[in-house]
Amino acid sequence: MAEQNQIENEQAMSLAESRKNDGPSDAGPKAPVGPKVEMLDGGLMLAIAGFNDLTDYLVIGSIPIVGDIIDGIVWFSIYAWVMSKGLDRPQMLMWSGAVEMIPLGDLLPTYTAMVMTIILYNNSPQFRTFFGG
């Protein structure tokens, strides 16, 4: 009887050891967690980007040089926000501001889409996995 108890204890110990070495059971791909975008920061940047896209569509987009200067300022503001907060983003995303410099490209809500993508990329692991991050 004592020998059987010893065998059962050894089996239980080896089972516990193998479970400990297996790690977590959800072995799906996980995106690295980075800094999250706070609601106030994200809302402010969305407001700036949305206002710029709206004025580009209605007024400023028809004034060639002034519109490009304002687009450059907004692009730099978004870039500075991303860098100062240490946010991650898809690499091609920061170049999407170049679309605004193309004639009639400023009619698209490029900056609003850029900020929304940055917010989702940093706050949603599924979105980050979709973009390969």
> pLDDT band for position 51 (50/70/90)?
very high
In a domain, 17, yes or no: no
Would the pLDDT of 88 be above 80? yes
15-29, 34-48, 111-125: least confident range: 15-29
Number of independent structural domains in the chain:
1
In a domain, 13, yes or no: no
- Rounded CA-CA distance 74/49 in Å is 7
Q: Is 122 exposed, middle or buried (0-12, 13-18, 19+ CB in 10 A)?
A: buried
In a domain, 90, yes or no: yes
In a domain, 98, yes or no: yes
pTM of the model: 0.69
Domain housing 97: 39-130
